[in-house]
Amino acid sequence: MKYMKYLWMSACALLLATVTACSDYEIFAEDLNPAKVTDDDSGDSEEEDNWDGTFEEGAVLPFTRTNRAVTASFTNVFFSAEVKAIERQGVLVSWRWLPDDADDITFDVYRNGIKLNETPISKSTNYKDLTAEIGQNYTYEVKSSDKSLGICKITPTDGAAGFYRSIKVKTRADYDINDGAIGDLDGDGEYEIVIKRQVIGQARDVGDTKPWTGLQKGTCLLEAYKLDGSSNGVPMWTIDMGKNISQGQHTTQFLVYDFDGDGKAEIALRTSEGTTFGDGTIIGDVDGDGKTDYRDASSGRVLDGPEFLSLVDGETGVEMTRTEYIPRGEKDTREAYWGDAWGNRSERFLMGVGHFGSQDGRASIVMCRGYYKNFQLWAVHYNSADNKLRTRWKFNTANGYSAQWLDSGNHNLSIGDVDDDGKDEIIYGSCGIDHDGKGMYTTGLGHGDALHLGKFDPNRSGLQIVDCHEHQEYHNGKGVDFRDAATGEVLWYIPGSGDIGRCMVADVDPATPGCEVWSSASATDMYSCKGEKLSKNAPVCKDGKISYNMGIWWSGSLNRQVLDNAMVQSYTDGRLFTGGTNFGVTTINDTKANPCFYGDIWGDWREEMIYTTNDYSELRIFTTDFETQYRIRPLMEDHIYRISAAHQNIGYNQPTHTGFYLGSDRTDYKAFK
């Protein structure tokens, strides 16, 4: 085995000349195969390739510590007269309450040089200008102690167009707009967005039991755009993943995050021969087999060929470095290891961001393969001193883990410091993996489609998890579990049978302490965070149907609203926003009905929504115009929230959550914890 490993690495070194997309290229590979599937495999050999050098720490502080992000929002399109009475027509000016701001700081708002507020603003970071007129040009300025903190310009417009910020994208016939991720790509202190684009109708599900018919048309693209509109339809760069990366929700994962601590976000993605980067360079015939197209001519599936994890410069789209991706293994071992030989198990990928050295240290990339039967996770750390991706640790269920660990993964993952040791852990569906790559626990409840990590019970220490499950033979009636994130102890569960496809947790009802939990396991039932079945129904959204999708902080209350099908619905006040009917946008990912991205991008602590138009010609970014009397630091400053936003687009999109309790049971948010 060792001889084969070194022989393979030597072969890679001889092929450097064929690798056209990345200079100083090196792979730190263990083997071309997954670990041997034997009862006595301790996995000790995996440690030999783990880099024992110093992992660079000292991450750059997020720019949400210094950027005030003043924004203005206006609409005169209201869902109902009742909502208009709450929302009120006018320009909402909002800004960040920065971490270094004093608890008792006050603000003033000026419009075209004239102060609007009669008394200093001390309880919130927003102001509603009810005297603004349609068609007038306004410059709003936020000050504190006569010091200017930021400005925003707006011209209130009659009709729908006045409510969103439009980001034109490149016209591409036959291409849609799919998932997005945000980060400061160029270091200017403002967010940019990276969007995934797929050929319309060509995204395929690797789990489809019906034979794929022929080759996919086109390839999956990544494009980067400025969120201030200055891109004007011209991307900062474009990456073509290439024909060996199948288009689809399970196969085209990417992360946008600052992995080298330089204040600029990089992009991490799976690549292969044929991937083209932002400067036009292409990964060539790396393995020297004389081919760069590994698609099966009849099925269209890609089950062979080299695969890599590439790290890309966020400003230019140029590949910085790459390493080997978790290998599929030899064909004759795949069914025994992964669970099938036709790519349903082996071709399911997830990715994540983890700070495994310390919360203040630089992040590692977590690449994952599989979640049915066996699965592997590798943590890879970028060493800027020599421009290499180094393996931090490898996790493999075949290396000494019991059968109870098999089939534990979800179509998504969550990451955060669940055991309060200052380092991140990974919640991989029904199991927990420690910061050092060792298994912490598994509930044995098996695979599922939805997963939530956050502070859901305000009166219980630590973080909690809500997870739904698909296979009856594993969950045995525990359709949705509410568990302790650190220990895996199932605190209570929602009974259910068969495939429980959806679950959701949020504080939607001010009358019930803590967050409420509901799922597709029990029709309209809703539970308290203590597991008590409530006498009221779960929240609805489109067509009066229960919504199990996402939650958003949009209204002025501390309760969360449900976000589904481009609609925002309050549990107490009804429909607050309808994107498709009123604002010409559409959702992505079929029945998941997601926005391209949503999160706390600018302004106060409420969340923005980013949708694509029906013709895929632009992104439309919506900022709430509801006033709030509450003042909270930027949500992106919360570690759990920032990480959940980073992998929101991974697999089946999941909502953002905070590591502190954010709900109507608490009103003092001077600090997160």
CATH number of the domain bearing residue 97? 2.60.40.10
Are residues 127 and 184 part of one domain? no
- Distance of CA 362 to CAs 69, 520, 542, Å? 25, 39, 42
pLDDT digits (tens, 9 = 90+) for 214-251: 899 999 999 999 999 899 999 999 999 999 999 999 99
CB 266 within 8 A of CB 184: no
**For the chain, how many structural domains are there in total?**
2
Q: Which of 94, 129, 154 is the last residue of a domain?
A: 154
Q: Rg of the chain over CA atoms, in angstroms?
A: 25
Q: Which of 106, 130, 154 is the last residue of a domain?
A: 154
Are residues 184 and 86 part of one domain? no
DSSP state, 17? G
- Distance of CA 218 to CAs 21, 97, 174, 225, 247, Å? 21, 45, 9, 22, 9
CB 376 within 8 A of CB 368: yes
**CA–CA distance, 268 with 2 (Å, rounded to integer):** 29
Are residues 305 and 191 part of one domain? yes
- Helices (DSSP H) in 440-493: which residue ranges? 472-475
Please report whether residue 86 resides in a domain.
Answer: yes
Amino acid 58: pLDDT = 67
Amino acid 673: pLDDT = 58
Amino acid 268: pLDDT = 98
Positions in the chain short of pLDDT 70:
1-58, 61, 63, 672-673
Burial class (CB in 10 A: 0-12, 13-18, 19+), 32: middle
Amino acid 11: pLDDT = 38
Q: Which of 91, 123, 154 is the last residue of a domain?
A: 154
Please report whether residue 358 resides in a domain.
Answer: no
Please report whether residue 565 resides in a domain.
Answer: no
Please report whether residue 73 resides in a domain.
Answer: yes
Are residues 181 and 146 part of one domain? no
Which residues form the domain of 251?
165-347
SS3 state at 254: strand
Amino acid 225: pLDDT = 98
CB 434 within 8 A of CB 425: yes
Please report whether residue 368 resides in a domain.
Answer: no
Amino acid 25: pLDDT = 33
Are residues 321 and 178 part of one domain? yes
**CA–CA distance, 229 with 167 (Å, rounded to integer):** 5
Query: Taking the chain, what is the end-to-end CA distance rounded to the nearest angstrom?
Result: 50
Are residues 334 and 291 part of one domain? yes
**CA–CA distance, 522 with 502 (Å, rounded to integer):** 11
How many residues are recorded in the chain? 673
Q: What are the two backbone dihedrals, phi and then psi, of residue 161, each rounded to the nearest 5 degrees? A: -65, -15
Going by C-alpha positions, the residue among 380, 518, 501, 525 that lies closest to residue 448 is 501
**CA–CA distance, 475 with 448 (Å, rounded to integer):** 10
In our burial notation (b when 16+ CB lie closer than 10 A, e otherwise), range 158-169 reads eebebbbbebeb
Are residues 326 and 211 part of one domain? yes
pLDDT digits (tens, 9 = 90+) for 13-55: 333 333 444 433 333 333 333 333 333 333 333 434 455 555 6
Amino acid 54: pLDDT = 58
Are residues 320 and 275 part of one domain? yes
Amino acid 1: pLDDT = 37
Amino acid 209: pLDDT = 77
Amino acid 14: pLDDT = 36
Q: Per the structure block, which two tokens stand in for 225?
A: 């755009």
CB 554 within 8 A of CB 626: yes
- Distance of CA 135 to CAs 34, 159, 247, Å? 64, 11, 44
Please report whether residue 113 resides in a domain.
Answer: yes
Please report whether residue 214 resides in a domain.
Answer: yes
SS3 state at 641: helix
Are residues 169 and 312 part of one domain? yes
Are residues 204 and 112 part of one domain? no
Are residues 86 and 149 part of one domain? yes
Are residues 308 and 217 part of one domain? yes
SS3 state at 569: strand
**CA–CA distance, 158 with 149 (Å, rounded to integer):** 29
Amino acid 50: pLDDT = 55
- Percent over 70 (pLDDT), the chain: 90
> Would you list the DSSP string of 270-324?
EEETT-B-TTS-B---TT-SS----B-TTT--B--S-EEEEEEETTT--EEEEEE
